[in-house]
Structure 1
Amino acid sequence: MNTRFTQFNRINCFVFLKKLLIKYKLVIRFILTFLLVYILLSLSYKFYLDFSKYTKFYPDYITHLVAKQIEHLIGDLGYDVHVVPHPDEPSMKLIINKKFVARIIEGCNSISVIIMFASFIVAFSGRLKQTVMFLFSGCVLIYVVNLFRIVILSIGLYHYPWRREILHTVIFPAIIYGMVFFLWMIWVRHFATINRKQNE
């Protein structure tokens, strides 16, 4: 009798799990796709960073490019600005009017945020052409907004160094993550196939 009862419970458990998988298959597919794309892109980026140690661009090409673009943007606002390699760590020193203001590290180049954004868009994919176009334009927009947020932060740190904590830990992340969330909402509401499937 106990054996029959155990078999009955196993069958019920299997049926219940099967129903859950069918009911939430879109959610499960989204989570698995997101994780797979995120891991693949993150590993690719790690290989890129490892390879960048042996190139002439310090600390890596993208961070170096971001630092130089910030130098030009702040310079266009009338400041005397220079970015130079940090002697003690893999970063670029940002100097405004001969005052050391901030370090531009690998985490400032927006690639980690772009990887997270791209993983979400692919996991919530729509039609191929729409997905590619939105992915490309979203990544470019995140990169550009990131440049301007570093410019705002740097000038803020130059004029109001005592506000470093709120500028760096509140305003700085709020700009970029707020925009990523906004792009995600646009994608889910207007383009994502998975959203249309759930509404059918």
Structure 2
Amino acid sequence: MLKDFKPVLSILLRFIIVYVVLLLSYQFYLNRFAQLGLDFFSHCIAEQVKDLQNFIGYPTQLYDDIKGEQVYFKVKNIYTTRMVEGCNAISVMILFASFVFAFYKGKKTVIFVLSGLLLLYVMNVFRIAGLNIVMTDYIQYGKIAHDFIFPAVIYGTVVLLWLIWIKFFALKK
């Protein structure tokens, strides 16, 4: 009886193991920055968002709030948003990688995960910049953009990548 469920249990176990290992590693990383303000990775993303916004004509400055573990974006001399650890999309990336590694198919798994993580990283930078632009020029749409539209973009990308992985890689012989 358990023989029938062995493939499913194997996939589930791989997912759980990879997810827990990545999540604990990330938490260990975050604990190193507990008293230093926003973590290094999140701060790098904030810097890249600032550079992108400056490039496209939205003059942006960053202000560190070490005690609050956040960075404020000042766009066109208006404090529009703040970057906290949860904005860096690492939890989404961990979920993505765990699912793909659950259906491990050798070297192409690693290549797909790295490519997917890069895509998610770039999309997240554009997502935060887009949110800053909405909060600067279209503040009346700020809440819906923050709570629904931009999360749908990042999570929708993850689901699309999962579907691509399953259809074109994981289920191919």
State the shift of 1:26 in Å. Answer: 1.4
- Which residue of 1 is the match for residue 60 of structure 2? 81
1:28 aligns with 2:6: no
Structure 1: distance between partners of 2:77 and 2:66: 17
> How big is each residue's C-alpha offset from its partner over 1:123-158, in whole Å with a ceiling of 9 and x where there is no partner?
0111x2101111111111110111001111110111
**Structure 2 residue aligned with 1:182:** 160
Cα offset for 1:24? 2.0
**Over 3 Å off, 4+ runs:** none
- Report the equivalent of 2:169: 191
Summarize the alignment of residues 3-82 of structure 1 with structure 2, pairs less than 5 Å apart: 19=1, 21-53=2-34, 58-82=37-61
Contact persistence 2:35–2:67 (CA under 8 A): no
Report the Cα distance in structure 2 between the residues aligned to 1:149 and 1:78, rounded to whole angstroms: 16
Which 5+ residue runs of structure 2 have no aligned equivalent? none
Please report the TM-score for the alignment, with normalisation by the length of structure 1.
0.82
Equivalent pairs: percent with the same residue? 40
Please report how far the alpha carbon of residue 52 of structure 1 lies from its aligned counterpart in structure 2 after TM superposition.
2.1
How far apart, in 2, do the equivalents of 1:100 and 1:54 lie? Answer: 24
What is the aligned counterpart of 2:129 among 143, 148, 151? 151
RMSD: 1.4
Compared with structure 1, are the counterparts of its residues 71 and 160 closer, same or farther at alpha carbon in structure 2 (3 Å cutoff)? same
User: Number of aligned pairs?
Assistant: 173
Determine if the alignment matches structure 1 residue 134 to structure 2 residue 112: yes
Q: Residue 78 of structure 2 aligns with which residue?
A: 99
Question: How far 1:159 moved relative to its partner?
Answer: 1.0
Q: Is 1:165 paired with 2:143?
A: yes
Q: Which amino acid aligns with 2:121?
A: Y
Where 2:32 maps in the other structure, the secondary structure is helix
Equivalent in the alignment of 1:12: none
Q: Distance in 1 between matches of 2:10 and 2:113?
A: 19
Report SS of the residue matched to 1:102: strand
Q: Which amino acid aligns with 2:155?
A: Y
SS in 1 for 2:68: coil
C-alpha distance in structure 1 between counterparts of 2:98 and 2:66, whole Å: 35
1:88 deviates by: 4.9
Q: Which one has more relative contact order, counting CA pairs under 8 Å at least 6 apart?
A: 2
* Distance change (3 Å), C-alpha of 1:131 and 1:87: closer
Distance in structure 2 (CA, Å) of the matches to 1:86 and 1:101: 15
